[in-house]
Each structure stands twice: as C-alpha cells, then as structure tokens.
Amino acid sequence: MDTVNLGLEDVFIKYTKLTYIDGNKGILRYRGYDVNDLVKNCTFEEVSYLMIYGELPNSGQLKSFVDDLRDHYKLPEHVLDLIAALPRESDTLTMMETAFASMSSGDYKWNQEDDRKQAAKIMGEDLGIISNIYRHKIGLELKNPDRKYGYAEAFLRNCFDNITQEKIDAMNSALIIYIDHEVPASTTTALVASSTLSDMYSCITAAIAALKGPLHGGAAEAAYHQLIEIGKPENVENWFNENILKNNKRLMGFGHRVYKTYDPRMKIFKGIAEKLVETEEQKKNLEIAKNLEEMGVKTYGSKGIYPNTDYYSGLVFNEIGFPIYMFTTLFGFSRVLGWVAHISEYVEEEERLIRPRAIYTGFDKRDFIPLADR
C-alpha cells in the first residue's frame, strides 16, 4: 500500500559527502571534521574551500581561492542600483532574494570546473549583497567591500564604522556554524531547482524563498523576541508557567527534527554570547536566556527536546551590532555556500529530475453536467 511521509520526514533524497549529523549524540561534522574543531581553528574561507573541494586547503590553494573570492566583492552596478531602488522598509530576505534573482543567467552550463569557480564568485557577491542590504536599511550610501580584508572582517567593515577583533572572530564562527546542515527545507528547494539543471543563481533564489518562511528561517528572531517579551530574569519562571505550561505555547529555540539532545551549534553560540556580551541590556537578555534554557531542559529534556542553534544565535548577532530584522538574512548569508556545495554535488554525481508523486484522494469518475443543467 502506498504511504505518504508528510514533510518528507525520514525520506532520503540524496547521497552526500558534505555533512554528517548524529542527532542522538549531538555530533555535526563537515567533510569528516567536527564543527567545533573548524570553528576554533579555521577561517570561513578555509571551511568554504573544504566544502567545495573536499579537503582543507594548503597555503597556496587558500591564497588562490581567497584572491578569486575577493575579486568578486565588487557587485555589478545593476545589483547595487536594484538594492538602492527597493523600499527601505522591505524585508531583508526579500531584498536578498531579489538581488540573487537579478544575477540569474539562463546560459549557465553545469560542469565540475565551472561549478567550483562559480562558488568563489557567488561567495564574494553574497558578501556585497548582504552588507549593502544592511547599509540600505540604515540609510547609508551603498559601497563595495574592501578586498584587502578577509571575509568576516570585510563584511563587518562594510556594515559598521567601528569593529573589534572579538566581533570579527564571532562573525567568522557564526558563518562557519551556519554553512550547512544536510537537507533542510531551503537546501531541498535548491536541490529540486538544480535537478532541472537551472542555473546556480536561480537555485539560490528558490532556496531563499523557502528560508523566508517562519517555520524555517525565522527561529532566531522568534527566540530573541521571546527574551524581550519576558523582560527580566526574575520573570522567567512565571512567564514559563503561564505561557508554556498553562497555555501550551511553543518554546521558541527549542526542539529540532534531527537532534534529540543538545544541538552542538547551540553550545558554540552560547559560548560566543557569553564572551561577547557588553551592555547591561545584553547581560540581562543573556541571563534570561540561561534561566529559560534551564527551565526548558528540565521540562522537555526527557522527551529529547533541547535548545537548537537559533536559541543563542540572535544574542550573538545582536552583540555584534545587528538588529533583529537581519538575523534570518545573516543565516542565509552563510548558508549560500552550503546550498552551492549541495547543488554542485547533486548535479555532478547524482543528477536526476526530482519529481515525486501524490496519492489521489478525490472523487472517482464523475459525469459531466452542462452549465444549463447545474
């Protein structure tokens, strides 16, 4: 008998050498390397090279890759003009979606060499797009990032006047953490588009459209709004009892389709949030988050429900200097590289049009009735 797996839960749609997850043990590896080791020891550029080429680069390979990437910090004029023409109140992911769609090329031909070169190009353009979306939102003139800086630093310098090494390091870590997570909704959407042999920019645009949904990309924003709603550390217990236990509201930033223990990415973000915290407001929100985490784990841990990566990531992005409306777009900023790695892997190694079926549950054959007789 045919069955339907709603949400494609536990349905495998591809083989991959990119990302390994053990949801029961809380393990996440990129190309075999533990995410904790990569965050501690690598730049985002190194991990990007790893994801695209399969191995960590030597110094010569890294220099060549970085040079290529930085050459594309400069955006085409029409993309800058398009961002500037969008209403400043526009959703930032909508701006990102529009910018990537504007660079779509109908004549792109898939082959391994071009796919690898395209990755560095898209990474550079991605940095220019996201930093200029932020500049446009706060009313600054758009400008291309400075190619003399590394990825995380160039991004922050194009967003802010004053940055610190601690914030650069935090941004670098956040970019690595969010690079990939197997095949969630946005990556699956990119794969469906790539299976038709559409071009990379169109595949990324499709992925952004999926990320924009609140059930996927908006979790960090929702978790941060939750902290604001609680207001004070001493309010946590009453708020939890009233909203979560009594009224059965969802505890934002908790639970994951794959992880049944602590999300390893959450632990990294928590450590960064503790290290980066500066203002009294940030200290207050961090304390609220810790108290709420304790209550949530005590209540739901036995059911395999723990904090996920988005629980503390909003705190980190805020401590770096970004407003709430940028949180999901910063997730997308990093995930572009993961999308490119997955669609390249799929088209090069397993390319087959993704065309699932549906089980019909409607009427049996019915006789047509002319309009005059209805």
Please confirm, yes or no, whether 180 is among the known catalytic residues: no
CA 267 vs. chain centroid, Å, equals 17
Please confirm, yes or no, whether 225 is among the known catalytic residues: no
Report the C-alpha gap between 5 and 270 in whole angstroms. Answer: 34
The strands making up 19-22's β-sheet, listed across from edge to edge, are 19-22, 27-30, 33-34
Among residues 310, 342, 367, 373, the one annotated as catalytic is 310
Write out the two tokens for 41: 């020891």
Angle at 45 between CA 346 and CA 27, to 5 degrees: 65
Please confirm, yes or no, whether 199 is among the known catalytic residues: no
Among residues 22, 68, 169, 216, the one annotated as catalytic is 216
Q: Are the beta carbons of 346 and 194 closer than 8 angstroms?
A: yes
Element (H, E) at 220: helix 219-230
Q: Are the beta carbons of 341 and 119 closer than 8 angstroms?
A: yes
Among residues 126, 256, 263, 342, the one annotated as catalytic is 256
Report the C-alpha gap between 120 and 336 in whole angstroms. Answer: 11
Report the C-alpha gap between 336 and 342 in whole angstroms. Answer: 10
Element (H, E) at 344: helix 327-349
* Catalytically annotated residues: 216, 256, 310
